[in-house]
Structure 1
Amino acid sequence: MGQYESEAQLENRFIKQLETLGYQYVTIKDNDDLLAHFRKILNERNQTNLKGKPLTDAEFQRVYTELVGTKSHYKISYDLRGSINSPIGKISITRDSGEPLFLNIFDVKNAAANTYEVTNQITMMGRYENRYDVTVLINGMPLLQIELKRRGVEFSQAFNQIIRYRNETFKDSLFRMVQLFVVSNGEDTRYFANGDGNLNSKFMFRWTDKHNKWLNEITEFMESFFPPERLHSILGQYVIFDESHSRMMVMRPYQIYAVEGIINQVENHPDKNGYVWHTTGSGKTITSFKASQLLKQREDVDKVIFLIDRNDLDVQTSKNFNSYLGAKNGDLAIDRTDDTKTLVKQLQQTDEKLVITTIQKMNNAVSKDYYKNLLAPYRDKKVIFIEDEAHRSQFGDMRKNVNNWFKNAQHIGFTGTPIFKENIGSDGRTTQDLYDQELHHYLIKDAIRDQNVLGFNVQYLQTFDAEDIDDNGQADANAIDKKEVMEHPDRLEQIARHIILNHRQYTKNGEFNAILTVPNTRVALAYYDIFKKLQAQNPEGEKLNITSVFTWAANEQDNEKYQDQDDVTSRHGLEHIVADYNQLYGENFSVEDFKDYFNDISIRMKQHHVKTPEQNIDILIVVNMFLTGFDSPKLSTLYVDKKLKYHGLIQAYSRTNRIDNLNKPFGNIVNYRNLKTETDDAIRLFSDGSREAFLAPSYEEMAENFRQAIEKLHDIIKQPKDVDNLYNMGEDHISEFIKAFRDVLRIYNKIRVYDEFKWENFALDLTPQQYESFQSKYREAVEYLEREAKNNKKISIVDDLDFELALIQQDDIDVSYIMGLVQNIDFMSTVDDIVDHTEKIKQQIEQAAQSQLHTKKELLLRFLEEEVPQYAEQANVDVLTEFNQYINQQKEDRFNQLSKEVEVPVDSLKHQLDEYNFRGECDSRSINNDLKGIPFKEKRQRRERIMLAIQDIGDHYKALD
C-alpha cells in the first residue's frame, strides 16, 4: 500500500483480508447489538441442549453474569479464559424451570466447529464515547480486539488507547471476554494478552515464521496469525493464566513453534528423540510446561515426566506448573516428588500422567532392586521425558540407567547452549548424538533482536604486564608460575580496588547487583578477605555488601587450603563468611544449614532494591554456583576472573541480560582475563556468528547516535529556555519536544556506562548544564500535558506518548560517595595510574545530577586535578582530612579576595559566615556598620554583594567533619 494510507483505508484493507481468510463480516453498532448477536448465535449452537426452547431474558442474564459477572463483582480474566479453554468449552446455568443447562460456547478441539466473524467501529459508551476499530468475534464473543493507526504514528498510541478503552468501557460488557489484542500501524504489528492488571508494553510480541523471521507488515502478519485454525490454536492452547501472579499470558511464536515441533515428533516419529535449542532467558519453562500439558492429554501417552537435575529447580518448576494450571490457595494441580518412594507411587498411578522429579530420584528408582520390582509392569509404557537444561543433566550414567529401564521412552531435551563437536566434553557425545533431531531453535541473537533479553557490553582489562604470560594465565613451560601470578594477593587487591571504584557506575548507583566469578574456593576466600580489609580501612567510604557461596570437598587437598594454613579448609573459610552474613543481615545460618543459606542469598540477589540497600547483596563471589539456572533482572554485572569457554561462558554471561527497566540497557561483563578469543568463539558457536547482535554497540556508534539525537533535538528547540515558548504553540509542539529529548535520554542512559564517555566530548553539542535544564523542562512538559488532560476532561495527546520518566531519576551521588572513591585509590601506585583513577571519578561527577553535587562540583574537580596526583607513592593518605584542609584553604583565599573587593576586614566577613551558618541569614546591621561612610547607593550594592558571597561560601566550603 502507499505511504500515505489513512487509518480508515488500513481498516478496510484489514477487514477485506479477514474475509478472504474465511471470516464473515457482520454489522454491530453498539453494546445492545453485540449482546443480541451473541444471544442469537448461542441459541443456534445449542439447539439440542435447549430442546427447542431459546433462552429467556432471565436465562440470558444468567449467562451474562456467568461470563462477565455483576457490577459489584466482575469476573476476572482467568474465569473467562477458563470457560473458553476448558476441555468441554461449556458453561452451566439453571433454567427458569429449575433444570440445569449446559451451553457450548467454544469448541476447543475442533476449530471448524466455531463461527468466525469480524466487525468494526462498535460504539461503547462510558466516560467518553469509544469506537473500537476492528473486533473479531468467535461464536459471537469478542475475543480479539484490533487497534489500527496510520503509518508513521508512534506505536505506543494504539497501546495507550487500548489501556483507556479497558478502563472506560470494557467493564460491564462482553468485551471483558477479550483474550488478545493486536495493534498495528500497517508496517509494524504486535499482539499481546488481555488481563485485569496493568498491561505492560514490554509484553507486546512480534509474530514470526518458524525460522524466527519477523512478520511485521500487516498483510504478512495476517496471513500467518489470522487463519481460523491458527487463531483457534492460540486461543485454545497457547493462552496461559499465571494464577500466582493473576495475569494472563500468551506464548511467543518461537515457543508455539517449539511445542508444535514436539507434538509432531511424538505423533509422527515416536522412535526418535528431539531437542529444543532456545537461548537462556527465552522462557523455556513455559514452553516445556505447555508441551507437557498437551502431551499428557494424548491417549497414546502413558506418562509425561518432567526431568530436571537440581532440587531447587524441582521446587520452582512445580510452583510454576501449578500456577499455570490454575492451582489456588496452596492447592496443587500436580505434585512434585519429595523422595524416590513418592516418585515410584506416582509412576504407578494411572490417573497421574504428569510427574516432576529430578534425574537423581529417577536414577534411584530404576537402579535399586526394591523399586525396580515395583516398576516392572511399567517398563514398556509409553513415557515422554521432558528434560530441562539438557546440556547439564543428560550426559552420564544416570541417563544411561534411565534409558535402559524404560524401553518405550522418548526424550525431549531443552537447552540454551547445546553441546557441539567444538565444546564436547569427556563423554564424547553431542546434544544431537543424544537427542537425534533439533525440533526448533531460537538463538541468543534472536532473543536480543526481539528484546526478550539484553545484549552485552564486554570489557577486557589487563591486570599485569608480562611478556611471557598472557592474561589467561598461559605461560611457557620455563616461564613464571602462572597460578602464582594470577592468584597473587597484589593482583587480587588491584582487581578488588577497581571493582569498588567502578561498581556504582556499572550498577546504576546500586540499583542493580553483581557476581564475581573466580577459579576456585581458595581465590573466592582470598577475594572476600581483601574486600573486607579494604572496606575496613575506609569506614567512611562507599559501603558494599559482599558475600560468597560455594561448595567444598569432604577431604580437601593441600592446594585448596584456606590462607595457606594446613588446618584451615575452605569449609572453615565459609564458616567465617556465614558468621559475617548472620551479623550483617540478622540471620542465624550455619554451614550445616547450607541449603537455607543458599536460598536466602538467592532471595536477596533477586529482590535487590535501591530503597533498602542495607538488606541487599551488592557483590556475590562464586566459583560455579549461580552461573547457570539463576534468573534475576536485578543482576546487571558479571566480574570475571576465571577461564570460561563456550557454553560455560554463554551461560555465565547470560546471568546479566534479563530485562528489568530503562536503567538497564545491557548486561555488563568485566573480564579481568583476556577472554576475547573465547567470547568470539562462543558467539560464533551459539549465535550463528552474529557478533553485532550479541554485543552492545561500540562506543563510537553510541557517540554518533548521541550526537544525532542531540542534533534532532536542536532542530526543534535550541535552548532550554525556548521550551517555554512551546506552551503558546499547542500540545503538538510540546509533544515533538518530548519525543526528541526522550531519545536523548534513552541514548544517554546507555552511553553513560562506557568508560570512554566524557561530557566534555559533547560540550559543543550539549553541555551538562543544558542537559540538566532540558531534563527539568521535559518533566514540566509531561506534567503540563497530564494536568491539561485531567482538567479539561478530554482525550489528550498524553495517550500517544511514552514519557519514560524513569530515565531522569536522580542518582544518589554525593560528596561522601566521591570521597569514598578517592580513598580507594592505591596511592602507592604511579602518578599515571592515579590520574587514570581520578579521571574515572571525574567522569562520575560529571554524570551525576547537578542538584546533588553542584555546591562542591568545581571544588571536587579541582581537588582531583591539583591535589590528588601529589599523593602518589604515599602510604596511609587520609583523603578526608586532605580534602577538608583543601576546602579550608580555598575558603581562606576566598575571604581574602572578598575582603579586598568590598573593603571589609576578613574577621568581619567570617563573623557573617558564622551568623549565616547559625541563623540561615547574615547580620545586615553589622554589615552596615562595616560600611560606614560609603554613599547609600554604593553601600546597598556592597551589602548585597557581601550577603550573596557569604551564602555562596557557606554552601561551597563547608567541610566534611
Structure 2
Amino acid sequence: MGQYESEAQLENKFIKQLENLGYQYVTIKDNNELLAHFRAILNQRNKDNLKGEPLTDLEFQRVYAEIVGPKSHYKISYDLRGSINSPVGKISIIRDNGESLFLNIFDVKNAAANTYEVTNQITMMGRYENRYDVTVLINGMPLLQIELKRRGVEFSQAFNQIIRYRNETFKDSLFRMVQLFVVSNGEDTRYFANGDGNLNSKFMFRWTDKHNKWLNEITEFTDSFFPPERLHSILAKYVIFDESHSRMLVMRPYQIYAVEGIINQVENHPDKNGYIWHTTGSGKTITSFKASQLLKQRNDVDKVIFLIDRNDLDVQTSKNFNSYLGAKNGDLAIDRTDDTKTLVKQLQKTDEKLVITTIQKMNNAVSKDYYKNLLAPYRDKKVIFIEDEAHRSQFGDMRKNVNNWFKNAQHIGFTGTPIFKENIGADGRTTQDLYDQELHHYLIKDAIRDQNVLGFNVQYLQTFDAKDVDEKSQADGNSVDKKEVMEHPDRLEQIAKHIILNHRQYTKNGEFNAILTVPNTRVAIAYYDIFKKLQEQNPEGQKLNIASVFTWAANEQDNESHQGQDDVTSRHGLEHIVKDYNQLYGENFSVEDFKDYFNDISMRMKQHHLKTPEQNIDVLIVVNMFLTGFDSPKLSTLYVDKKLKHHGLIQAYSRTNRIDNLNKPFGNIINYRNLKPETDEAIRLFSDGSREAFLAPSYEEMAENFRQAIEKLHDIINQPKDVDNLYNKGEDYISDFIKAFRDVLRIYNKIRVYDEFAWEEFSLDLTAQQYESFQSKYREAVEYLERESKNNKKISIVDDLDFELALIQQDDIDVSYIMGLIQNIDFMSTVDDIIDHSEKIKQQIEQAAQSQLRTKKELLVKFLEEEVPQFAQQANIDILSEFNQFVQEQKEQQFKKMSQKVDVPVESLKYQLDEYKFRGECDSRSITRELSGLSLIEKNRKKEQIMIFIKEIGDYYKALD
C-alpha cells in the first residue's frame, strides 16, 4: 500500500488499531448527537449520585455552561487535575430542587474507571461545513482530536486545518473540551496542546520511546501513545495549566519519562538517590516542577523540598513555579528572603508538603542548634530533595551538612552537564558518586535533532602565529610568556576590530546580540576600553553598544591573577563602565547597587521592554557571568577569548542555541583561541560523540543542499517572469512554486552567514538578481492566495501552506551601513588583509535585499576593488571624502560618455539633472532646443535617450550625493 494509501484508508486503519487497544467505536454524526451521547454517559456514571433521577434539560444546560461556558475549555483541564473549589475530576451544579450536586466527569486516579471511545467524520456547521477526521471520547467528552492526511502530503496541512476548525466550529460546542491534538500524514506524527489563543506549530512534539527514539509512523505512535493507561496518564498528570498565562501546556516525552523515572525511584528504590541528565535548554525546570507536584501527593512522602542555588532563584523562577502548580492568591508562594526563620516555619507546617528554598538557607537551618531543635521531628521522616543544577552547588560542605541532618532523605538531581571522571573537580566525586544512578537522559544531540535547541556553527580564528612565538623562545633561550602574548593590547585590538567589522553579519544586522567572554576582569576592562577608543576614533563608523559586567573581587580570586591593589583597579574599571552605561541608556546605577545593574543588563540582553532597537546591548563582555543559567533567544553569538573545557564549554556554547525565529539558524561560536580539541572532547563527553548532530552542516553540505533546492525550483519554473503564467493555471501551480522557492529561502537563510558563501558560486544556477526577483514573485503569490481566500467562499489552498514570510524580511543594510564597514578596515594592515576585509563587505552587499542598495551595488563594489586597496599603509584616511570624490569622478565619466553619444554639452546634461532633482522631471523644451537641426526621428531618439539617462543617473546617485 505504502505511498498509495488514501486518507480514508489511513483513517480506517487507525480506527481499527484503536479498537484493538480497547476503544469502543461509536457512530456520532453531529453536535446534537455528541451532546446526547455525553449526557447519556454522564447520567450512567452518576446514577448513584442522581438517585435514579437523570438530569433534566435545565440541569444539563447548567452542566454544559459549567464545562464549556465563558470560562473556556481550560477550566475542564484544571478540574481534571483537581481545583481548589471542587474535588478531583468533578463539577458542581444546582439541581432544579435547589440541592447542590457533584458530578463525576473523569476519574483522575484510576484509568480503568473511565470509558474510552472513538468516532469519526462528525459534521460541524459554521462558516463552512467541517468534518473532523477522528475524535477520541473519554466518558463521552471529546478530549482528543486527530487530523490525518494521506502519505506524501505536506505535513503542515493537518495543523492548518485544525486552526481553521478551531476558529470556525469549536466555539459554542462540546469540542471546546479538546485537550490535545494529534496530526499525521501516516509517515510523520505530532501531538500538541489545545489553547484559546493562537496555536504555534513550534510546539508540536514528536512522541518517542524511553530511549528518545522517534515513533513517527502512525502505527508505532499509536501503539505507544494511545493505550488507555498511557493516554490517561498524559491527560491526568502531564497536561499542565499555566495559571498566569491562561494557557495549557503538554509535556514532551522525555520530560514525562524523566518524571516517571523519579516516581519509580522513590517508590521502588527509596534507599537510592538518582539524577536526570537533560541537556541545557530542554526544559528541566518544568520537569522538576511536575516531579515535585506529583511527589507531594504521595502518602509515603512526608516533605518535598525543592532546592535551588541562591543565584538561580530569581523572580521569574518563582512566578513559573507558582503558575505551573496552579497557585492563586499567594498559594504556594516561594519565600525568596534570606531569613532562615521563615524557612523553618515552612518546614514545620504539616498542611503543606512542598517547600521551595535555597541550599544556602537550608544549610543555615541544619547548622544552628536553635533551628535544629525545631526541625527535630523531620530528622527521621521521608524527605525528598529535588535539586536543580546538581553539578553546581551540591558538591560542597552545605550538601554534607544537609545529608547529616536528614537521615531518611532521598536526593533527586537535575543537570545538563554531569560531572564525570574526565571533568572531575577538587571535590573528587562524580555526579554518579553523589546521586547513585541516572534515571533518564536527553542529550544535546537529541535536543538538536528534535529542534528544541539549535546546533552550533563553530569557527576558530588564529590571532597570532604560534610558530613565531616558539622561534622567539628558542632564539632568546627563554620561554615566551604566552599569557602576556594572549593579553597583549595589540592582539585585543585586532580582535575588537574583527568583532566590529563582522558583528552585524553574525547577528542578522543587530536583530540578535552577543557575549564576549574573557579570562579575567583586567582583560574585560582592557577590551571595553579598546572598543570605546576605536568607536571614538571613528565616530562615522559602525556603532555597537558595548557593555560589561563582572564582580571585581570574586572573579579575580578565581583567576589567581589579581590581589590587593588590583581589586581597587577592577572596581574603578567597573565604575567607569557603569557610568558610560548610565549615559548611554539614561539610567542611574552604581557599583553599590550591582544587583539592579545586573538585572537591567539581563533585561536588555533578552530585549525585554526595549522601546527602540538602540536600547539593546550588542556585545556584553563577561568573565564568568551569563555563561550559565542565562536563557535568551535573542543571544545568537559567543565570542570566546578564554580557555573553556568540558561542562564549562558546553554551558557557555549553549547560551547561543535557544530557538527564536527563522533568522536564527544556529548558535555562532567565534573562537579566538584554538579550542577545537576541547570542543571535540566536550562533544564526545556530553553528546555521545555525535559531532554531526552537535555542529551545523559544513559549508560544502549546505552548498549542495542549496543547489538541489534551486534545481527543484527550476523543475517548476525557470525564470521569475514565468511565475506570471501560473495564475492562469490555478492555485495548485502557484502552491507548487511557493513550496519550491520556500525551500530555497530556508537554505539561503542558513548558508548566507558562512564566510565562504558568495553568489558567484551559484550564478550558473541562480543569480543574486534572479533570487531577488523570485522573492518579489513569492510575496506576490502569497498575497494573491490570501486575497483569493478572503474573496471566495470556497476553502482556499492558502490554509494548507506555511508561507514563512519572515524569510524574506529585508535587512537594514544601506549605503551608510556599508560605508561604516569600510571605515572600520584597518588601513595600516597589509594590502592582502585589506582585500580580505573588502571581500567580506562585498558578500554583504551581494546578500542585501534592499532595492535601494542593489542600484548602488556596482559602484560600491568598484570602489572596494579599485580604490580601497590603494589606501594601504595610510594613516587617518578619510574614507567618506575618498568615496565622495570617487562618486563624483564616476558621475563625471558618465556625463562625458552621454555627452559624446548625444552630442549635447555636459553642462546642459547637468542642468537637466538639477531640474529632475528639483521638479521630478526634465526640461523638455530645453532638450528640444539643444537638438535643433536634427531630423524629427533623430531628435526624438536622442531626446528619449537623454531623459532616460537623467532619470537613471538621478535615481542612481540619489543616496550618494
Aligned equivalent of 1:631:
631
SS of 2:135's partner is: strand
Contact 2:461 2:672 in 1 (8 A): yes
Aligned equivalent of 2:805:
805
Specify every segment of 5 or more residues in structure 1 that has no aligned partner in the other structure, as ranges. none
Alignment identity in percent?
87
Aligned equivalent of 2:840:
840
Aligned equivalent of 1:823:
823
SS of 2:954's partner is: helix
Contact 2:191 2:204 in 1 (8 A): yes
1:77 to 2:73 alignment: yes
Q: Summarize deviations over 1:889-929 as a string: whole Å, max 9, x none.
A: 11111111111111111111111222222222222222222
Aligned equivalent of 2:136:
136
Q: How does 1:375-390 map to 2 (within 5 A)?
A: 375-390=375-390
SS of 1:176's partner is: helix
Contact 1:314 1:357 in 2 (8 A): no
Deviates further, 131-140 or 561-570: 561-570
Aligned equivalent of 2:332:
333
Distance 1:680 1:728 in 2: 55
Deviates further, 441-450 or 914-923: 914-923
| One-letter code aligned to 1:866 | E
Aligned equivalent of 1:707:
707
Contact 2:151 2:186 in 1 (8 A): yes
Distance 1:406 1:592 in 2: 38
Distance 1:226 1:320 in 2: 30
Contact 2:244 2:323 in 1 (8 A): yes
Q: Summarize deviations over 1:298-322 as a string: whole Å, max 9, x none.
A: 1111111111113453433221111
SS of 1:244's partner is: coil
Aligned equivalent of 1:252:
252
Q: Summarize deviations over 1:840-879 as a string: whole Å, max 9, x none.
A: 0000000001413023111100000000001111111111
Distance 1:608 1:898 in 2: 55
Cα 1:559/1:520, change in 2 over 3 Å: closer
Q: How does 1:333-352 map to 2 (within 5 A)?
A: 333-338=332-337, 339-352=339-352
Distance 1:518 1:296 in 2: 44
Distance 2:228 2:556 in 1: 64
Cα 1:555/1:947, change in 2 over 3 Å: closer
Aligned equivalent of 2:882:
882
Shift of 1:763: 0.4
| One-letter code aligned to 2:134 | V
Q: How does 1:212-227 map to 2 (within 5 A)?
A: 212-227=212-227
Shift of 1:369: 2.2
Contact 2:557 2:563 in 1 (8 A): no
| One-letter code aligned to 1:908 | S
Distance 1:479 1:614 in 2: 47
Shift of 1:243: 2.1
Contact 1:77 1:248 in 2 (8 A): no
Q: How does 1:102-113 map to 2 (within 5 A)?
A: 102-113=102-113
Distance 2:559 2:4 in 1: 73
Aligned equivalent of 1:308:
308
Deviates further, 593-602 or 926-935: 926-935
Contact 2:556 2:562 in 1 (8 A): no
Shift of 1:169: 0.4
Cα 1:563/1:719, change in 2 over 3 Å: farther
Q: Summarize deviations over 1:225-246 as a string: whole Å, max 9, x none.
A: 0110000000000000112222
SS of 1:93's partner is: strand
Distance 1:627 1:606 in 2: 14
Cα 1:558/1:427, change in 2 over 3 Å: closer
SS of 1:866's partner is: helix
Cα 1:848/1:562, change in 2 over 3 Å: farther
| One-letter code aligned to 1:19 | E
Q: How does 1:590-605 map to 2 (within 5 A)?
A: 590-605=590-605
1:64 to 2:60 alignment: no
Cα 1:196/1:95, change in 2 over 3 Å: same
Deviates further, 800-809 or 790-799: 790-799
Q: Summarize deviations over 1:330-357 as a string: whole Å, max 9, x none.
A: 6343333422121111111111211111
Contact 1:513 1:634 in 2 (8 A): yes
Cα 1:56/1:588, change in 2 over 3 Å: same
Contact 1:469 1:476 in 2 (8 A): no
| One-letter code aligned to 2:641 | D
Contact 2:887 2:960 in 1 (8 A): no
Aligned equivalent of 1:642:
642
Aligned equivalent of 1:553:
553
Contact 1:525 1:562 in 2 (8 A): no
Shift of 1:524: 0.7
Distance 1:342 1:469 in 2: 59
Q: How does 1:159-238 map to 2 (within 5 A)?
A: 159-238=159-238
Q: Summarize deviations over 1:734-777 as a string: whole Å, max 9, x none.
A: 11111100000000000000000000000001000000000011
Q: How does 1:775-814 map to 2 (within 5 A)?
A: 775-814=775-814
The alignment yields a C-alpha RMSD, in angstroms, of 2.1
| One-letter code aligned to 1:396 | G
Cα 1:927/1:545, change in 2 over 3 Å: same
Aligned equivalent of 1:917:
917
Distance 2:446 2:404 in 1: 37
Contact 1:180 1:192 in 2 (8 A): yes
Distance 1:97 1:474 in 2: 102
Distance 1:362 1:326 in 2: 25
Distance 1:359 1:583 in 2: 38
1:858 to 2:854 alignment: no
Aligned equivalent of 1:616:
616
Shift of 1:64: 0.1
Shift of 1:373: 2.3
Q: How does 1:369-380 map to 2 (within 5 A)?
A: 369-380=369-380
| One-letter code aligned to 2:377 | P
Distance 2:611 2:909 in 1: 42
Aligned equivalent of 1:690:
690
Aligned equivalent of 2:126:
126
Contact 1:560 1:569 in 2 (8 A): no
Corresponding residue pairs, total: 955
Shift of 1:466: 2.7
Distance 1:151 1:232 in 2: 29
Q: Summarize deviations over 1:158-187 as a string: whole Å, max 9, x none.
A: 000000000000011110000000011111
Shift of 1:941: 1.8
TM-score (normalised: structure 1): 0.97
Shift of 1:581: 0.9
Aligned equivalent of 1:722:
722
Contact 1:337 1:355 in 2 (8 A): no
TM-score (normalised: structure 2): 0.97
Contact 1:505 1:844 in 2 (8 A): yes
Distance 1:112 1:469 in 2: 74
| One-letter code aligned to 1:76 | S
Deviates further, 663-672 or 914-923: 914-923
Q: How does 1:19-34 map to 2 (within 5 A)?
A: 19-34=19-34
SS of 2:738's partner is: helix
Contact 1:632 1:655 in 2 (8 A): yes
Shift of 1:564: 13
| One-letter code aligned to 1:78 | Y
Q: Summarize deviations over 1:413-433 as a string: whole Å, max 9, x none.
A: 000000000111111100000
Deviates further, 345-354 or 859-868: 345-354
| One-letter code aligned to 1:586 | G
Cα 1:408/1:476, change in 2 over 3 Å: farther
Shift of 1:936: 2.0
Contact 1:512 1:608 in 2 (8 A): no
SS of 1:467's partner is: helix
Deviates further, 330-339 or 897-906: 330-339
Cα 1:450/1:556, change in 2 over 3 Å: closer
| One-letter code aligned to 1:158 | A
Shift of 1:14: 0.7
Cα 1:608/1:930, change in 2 over 3 Å: farther
| One-letter code aligned to 2:78 | G
